[in-house]
Structure formats: structure tokens, C-alpha cells
Amino acid sequence: MTPALELRGLSKRFGGLTATDDVSLSIPAGSLHALIGPNGAGKTTLINQVAGDLRHDAGAIMLGGIEIGALPAWARVRCGLARTFQIAQLLPHYSVLDNVALAIEVRQGHCFRFFADARKNSRARDQAMSHLEAVGLSARASSAASDLGQGECKQLDLAVALATRPSLLLLDEPMAGLSALESRKMTELLAALKGRLTMVLVEHDMDAVFALADRISVLVYGRVIATGNGDEIKADEAVRVAYLGADDDRC
Amino acid sequence: MTSGTIEASPLQPATRRPGRLLSLSAAVAVALLLALPALANAFHVVFVLGLATQVLIYAIAAMSLNLVLGYGGMVTFGQAAFFGLGGYTVGILHQHFSEASAFLGLLPGSDSLLVCLAAAMLVSGCAAAIIGSLSLRASGVSFIMITLAFAQMLFFLFVSLKAYGGDDGLMMRHRDVAPFFDTGDDANYYGVCLALAAGWFGLTACMVRSRFGFVLAGLRQNERRLTAIGIAPMRYRLVAFVIAGMGTGLAGALMANDLRFVSPDMMHWTKSGDLMMMVIVGGTATLIGPLLGAAAMVLLEASLAAQTENWQLYLGLILLAIVMLTRGGLAAALDRLFGGKR
């Protein structure tokens, strides 16, 4: 079966710094693949290249067997790729419901509709409401997005991404900035999504990573040093060295 | 709220109910506009009609600019280019009509108002498509400078076009004609401008509530968000830019007919600045703002210029006071006055 996402020899350099170094990954459909690594390992850079916010220097990005590396970010969304952001990206002046409804309207077709009142598209708004219910934000539907707390912003960011009906969802640190309670809620949300779509998770919260991930890749200096399931990664010597430092140069 | 002008909330929450006082004053304003020719006659102040026509024409231009500047958040400093192109389309067609010659030896002239207005919108729309597709690749200060540069290029092009009057501009012997009524009559011409301004207002009102308007105002708030749900930002911005160019071209064509004169001054950068002032003084990203701004600018200029030679100094001070005191322009002030949402 074709993998949902396949990276072949992906590379990205910023001047003298190699941010992504010949990364090859194959992620089967329906699985959750976590990317972990120390700060500055290039995890978000890798996500940005897959999403199309950054252009890679070499290699290929295959989404369901189709090369998407040459497409701009917006066109990759139309191919079934969605992402959430480390810092939630919302439309602050619009209501929570508007934020999700817009994503649905875009999915339904182009937005060169100049006359009909966008807020009277009841089909899109009903669907948007059900997405809000799924992430537990339906009570805040009519609040302005700028009034949301940090945890709620992340939930809304996720709801917007899901409203595009992706086959592949890139999650860039969904737990960052959340309280313990909120991050437990987010973990449950993601667990409920497992199997329905393919997910790539970048996260520092190891409890969440080991609870959710089917497979884990460890990224250090832009290079994948290990890939495996939770137990294999915990036992891997190279991972230990990367995270804790080798015995002889520990200070 | 330091940068309140551009960041002003675009689409008010749907829950907002206009007060009864507000709808009443809107009705009074509409009635006044409709009755103005009769009133001006009755009170022997015919010059008021000319001023009102100018207000309506500038209002069309300002409404158009507001679409890109206010709703779209694209600070363009070259809107006068389209104002001038609209005007020159009318002037040039009129000259060829009266000389019975053809533009570039191909296109015959015309003195039909319908044809000329349509041609003006077409020309300025095409120009906006070209200028927009080049300048919208940039943003921020570079976008401002590129739009300004294009407008200045056109300005100097028309200054050097001796065939069409160069510096001195073009005179028109009479206004373009329309079937069924005499456009030479100021009351009739006022009616034409009122109808077109009302139509453009209605069109804008539809557009900013539509899916397109939703996306446009969303792009101003967070381009990254919209890209991540599958929106190609450039396309939407360009369409808004073209629509705004067409509206401004229409206003320019009406102005040329009103004054029976076009000159490169119509596309001078100070004219772009005037249009921007109208939008900002009236209230960016509001429907009624450009109308109020155009009225304030035209009426203040006329009344101050009658009093003193240094009217520009006083005009500047008053505009400064309006912008600083109303926090969001005249529309915001009205909103507060009529007990709308703060």
C-alpha cells in the first residue's frame, strides 16, 4: 500500500547551517508518527517544508504517492494536507464559528462569490458547529477568536485544520503552552482521531508522544538518527547520547 | 489601538442591531440626497448641487480604495492612476469624436456616456490588473512605493503626451450624452452620479459580506492562516485590486464629465493622498466611512477656500483633529453617537 507520506532525501540548508539533512521517512496511512529531538534539531523546519511554507533544496515529498514538492502551500491543502501551528494561527476579528466555517467554504469550492451573505451559508455553519463540538469548543462558537484562552486557541486551530478534511495532518507542538489539564484533553482529542487520518506529531511532551505515537523518529541536527516504536526508541543508544550527552562529555 | 486605522474591525459581529435613531437618520440622509436638486432651486443655492456631485464622485473613488486599503489592508498609494485613466479615457474618446478621428487609427471616438463610462472602467480595470499583478508580489513599504511609482509613471506619461494636451490637459466641449435626458443639465448629471454612487455602495455592501469579502478581510488579519486552509492570497488580492481600480476609473470618468476637463493633475500623487485621507477620515473598513470622508473633504475644502488663502493649513489641522479624536474616523464617531457597539 502506498504510504500516506513519504519523504525521500529531503534536504534544506540555511547558508552554512544544514537544517534538514537527507531525511527519508515513510509513514503508512492511518498511523501517527512522532518526530522528537532536542531544540534546534529541525523539527519545525521539516514540518514547514512538508506544508510548503518553506521550499526544500533537494529531495521529494510524496503525498499518497503524488509528488507535491513543487506545489505552493495553499495547493497542498487542496491535496489533503493540513497543519496546526506551534502558535495557533487564527483570524482574531472573526468569531470562533466563522474561523471554522471559512475553512469549510474553501473546501467546498473557490471563494469568488461576491453577492451571497457568507454568514447565511447554513450548511457550512452546521458542519463548522459539529467540528467545534468535536474539539469541545461549541460553547464559545460566537465569541471572537481573539477572546480565547491559549488552550482554546490550540483547540480552534485543530478544528480549523480538521475542517479542511485532511488525509494527512501535521501537528506542530500541539501541547506547547498548554496547562497539564489542557494537554491531557488535547492528548485525548488526538487519540480519538487515530486511525481516521494520518498524523505527523512534533512534540516535546514525552508522555503525550509515547501515549499516542505508533512510530517515533528522532531528529538531531536535521538528521534522522533512529526510527522505531516507543520501546525501541527508549532503548536506543544513539538517542540517549543525543538527549543526555555521552558519558564522557557530561559536565 | 495604536495602529487603529488599518486594523479597525472589518465585519462587525452579526449580532449588532442598528438603532432606530440610526435608520431614521439614514432615511433622512437619503431623502435629502434625492430632494437636493429641488431644494437647491427653491433656496437659490444652485452651487450646492455642484458640490454634492463632487462629493458623490469622490465617494465612489473612496469606496473603491476602501476595498483594498480598508478591507484588504493593502496600503496602495497609487489609486489616482486609475482616477486619471478613467478621466483620460473619457477625454480622449471625446477628442477623437469631435475631430472625427480614431484612437491609434483604430478606435473611433465617442460621446455616449454609457460607452465612455464602460470604456473607462475597462481601461482602468486592465491597468489595475497589470499594476496589481506586479505590485502585489511585494507588501508593506515596498508595496506602497511600487504603487506610487506606477502612478507617477502614468502621470509623467500624460504630461508628455502632447497629442492629448500634455500639461494643459484636455477640454471637452460638452458632457457625454445619454439617451432620454440631457446630461448638460446639472440636476440631471447629479442624478446620474447619485444613482451610480448608490449602485456602487450596494455592490460594496454585498461584496464585503460575501465569501469573497470574508476571505479578503481574513487575509488582512492573518495571511498564514488562510494559506493553511487552501487560499491562494494573491488571486483574491488581485481581484479586489482590479475591482477597486474599475470603481476609481468610473469616478474619474464621471469627474471628467462633470468638469468637462481632464489633466494629469487627476493622477498626481497628491490626489492619491486625498483619496486616502477620505478613507481614513471617514473610517477604514466601514461601509459608510468613505461617503462621510468624501463629504468632509470636499465641503471643508470649499468652505475654507472661500474664507482664506491658507485654507490647506486649516484643512490639515481639522483632518488631524478628526483622525485623532474620533479613533476610527467619522464612521466610528457616528457609531458611538448612535449608541452602537463601542
Residue pointed to by grid coordinates 508580489: B137
Do A100 and A71 reside in the same domain of the chain?
no
**Distance between CA atoms of residues B123 and B249, nearest Å:** 8
Residue A158 inside a domain? The answer is no
Residue B207 inside a domain? The answer is yes
Question: What pLDDT score does B260 carry?
Answer: 95
Query: Among residues of chain B, what percentage have pLDDT more than 70?
Result: 93
pLDDT band, residue A245 (cuts 50/70/90) = low
Residue B340 has pLDDT above 70, yes or no: no
Residue B314 inside a domain? The answer is no
Residue B16 has pLDDT above 60, yes or no: no
- State pTM to two decimals: 0.90
Selecting from A74, A116, A144 the residue whose C-beta is nearest the C-beta of B227 gives: A74
Q: Which residue of A has its CA nearest to B235?
A: A112
Residue A121 inside a domain? The answer is yes
Residue B234 has pLDDT above 50, yes or no: yes
Cross-chain Cβ contact B224/A121 below 8 Å: no
Question: What pLDDT score does B6 carry?
Answer: 42
Min CA distance, B225 vs chain A (Å)?
A: 5
Min CA distance, B210 vs chain A (Å)?
A: 5
Residue A230 inside a domain? The answer is yes
Range A34-51 average pLDDT:
92
Range B288-298 average pLDDT:
95
Show Cβ contacts of residue B175 under 8 Å, excluding neighbours closer than 6 positions: B113, B183, B184, B189, B257, B258, B260
Cross-chain Cβ contact A111/B212 below 8 Å: yes
Q: Which residue of A has its CA nearest to B213?
A: A114
Residue A137 inside a domain? The answer is yes
Range of the domain at A108: 91-147
Residue B318 inside a domain? The answer is no
Residue B28 has pLDDT above 50, yes or no: yes
Cross-chain Cβ contact B236/A144 below 8 Å: no
Q: Which of residues 12-41 of A touch B (CB under 8 A)?
A: none
**Domain count of chain A?**
2
Residue B36 has pLDDT above 80, yes or no: yes
Residue B14 has pLDDT above 50, yes or no: no
- DSSP 8-class letter at B100: T
Residue B332 inside a domain? The answer is no
Question: What pLDDT score does B313 carry?
Answer: 93
Residue B68 inside a domain? The answer is yes
Per-residue pLDDT tens over the stretch B257-274: 999 999 999 999 999 999
3-class secondary-structure state, position A24: strand
Q: Which residue of A has its CA nearest to B8?
A: A93
Question: What pLDDT score does A239 carry?
Answer: 84
Question: What pLDDT score does B5 carry?
Answer: 37
Residue A162 inside a domain? The answer is no
Selecting from B209, B215, B228 the residue whose C-beta is nearest the C-beta of A73 gives: B228
Closest CA to B6 of B337, B247, B279: B279
DSSP B167-192: GG-EE-SSPPB-SSS-TTSHHHHHHH
Selecting from A112, A116, A119 the residue whose C-beta is nearest the C-beta of B14 gives: A119
**Domain count of chain B?**
1
Do A65 and A134 reside in the same domain of the chain?
no
Residue A35 inside a domain? The answer is yes
Element (H, E) at B279: helix B269-282
Please, which residues bridge with residue B102 across strands?
A: B108
Sort out which chain B residues have CB atoms less than 8 A from A85's CB and list them. 224, 228
Cross-chain Cβ contact A112/B212 below 8 Å: yes
- Judged by a CB distance cut-off of 8 A, whether residue B240 touches chain A is no
Sort out which chain B residues have CB atoms less than 8 A from A156's CB and list them. none
Residue B4 has pLDDT above 80, yes or no: no
- Judged by a CB distance cut-off of 8 A, whether residue A89 touches chain B is yes
Sort out which chain B residues have CB atoms less than 8 A from A103's CB and list them. 229-230
Which residue of A91, A107, A142, A162 to mutate against B (max B Cβ within 10 Å)?
A: A91
Q: What is the mean pLDDT of chain A?
A: 90
Do A105 and A71 reside in the same domain of the chain?
no
Do A117 and A226 reside in the same domain of the chain?
no
Range B29-53 average pLDDT:
92
Residue B83 inside a domain? The answer is yes
Do A245 and A197 reside in the same domain of the chain?
yes
- Judged by a CB distance cut-off of 8 A, whether residue A117 touches chain B is yes
Sort out which chain A residues have CB atoms less than 8 A from B217's CB and list them. 93
- This complex has an ipTM of 0.89
Please, which residues bridge with residue A81 across strands?
A: A168
DSSP B206-224: HHHHBHHHHHHHHHHH-HH
Q: Which residue of B has its CA nearest to A78?
A: B230
Q: Which of residues 145-184 of A touch B (CB under 8 A)?
A: 160-161, 163-164
CATH of the domain at A240: 3.40.50.300
Selecting from B213, B218, B239 the residue whose C-beta is nearest the C-beta of A91 gives: B218
Range of the domain at B46: 39-269
Per-residue pLDDT tens over the stretch B45-63: 888 999 999 999 999 999 9
Per-residue pLDDT tens over the stretch A97-122: 999 999 999 988 767 888 888 888 88
3-state secondary structure A181-230: HHHHHHHHHHHHHECCEEEEEECCCHHHHHHHCCEEEEEECCEEEEEECH
Residue A153 inside a domain? The answer is no
Residue A251 has pLDDT above 70, yes or no: no
Residue A71 has pLDDT above 80, yes or no: yes
Residue A107 inside a domain? The answer is yes
Cell of B193: 452620479
Which residue of B216, B219, B229 to mutate against A (max A Cβ within 10 Å)?
A: B229
Do A71 and A101 reside in the same domain of the chain?
no
Range A135-155 average pLDDT:
93
Closest CA to A44 of A16, A84, A91: A84
Residue B330 inside a domain? The answer is no
Show Cβ contacts of residue B100 under 8 Å, excluding neighbours closer than 6 positions: B109
Question: What pLDDT score does B12 carry?
Answer: 45
Cross-chain Cβ contact A163/B230 below 8 Å: no
Selecting from B15, B209, B229 the residue whose C-beta is nearest the C-beta of A103 gives: B229
Do A118 and A177 reside in the same domain of the chain?
no
Q: Which residue of B has its CA nearest to A156?
A: B225
Min CA distance, A158 vs chain B (Å)?
A: 12
Residue B48 inside a domain? The answer is yes
Per-residue pLDDT tens over the stretch B82-92: 999 999 999 99
Cross-chain Cβ contact B228/A163 below 8 Å: no
Do A63 and A35 reside in the same domain of the chain?
yes
- Judged by a CB distance cut-off of 8 A, whether residue A114 touches chain B is yes
Min CA distance, B207 vs chain A (Å)?
A: 5
Number of Cβ pairs < 8 A linking chain A and chain B:
103
Q: Which residue of A has its CA nearest to B237?
A: A112
Terminal CA-CA length for chain A: 48
Q: Which residue of B has its CA nearest to A51?
A: B228
Residue B142 has pLDDT above 50, yes or no: yes
Do A79 and A102 reside in the same domain of the chain?
no
**Distance between CA atoms of residues A169 and A130, nearest Å:** 19
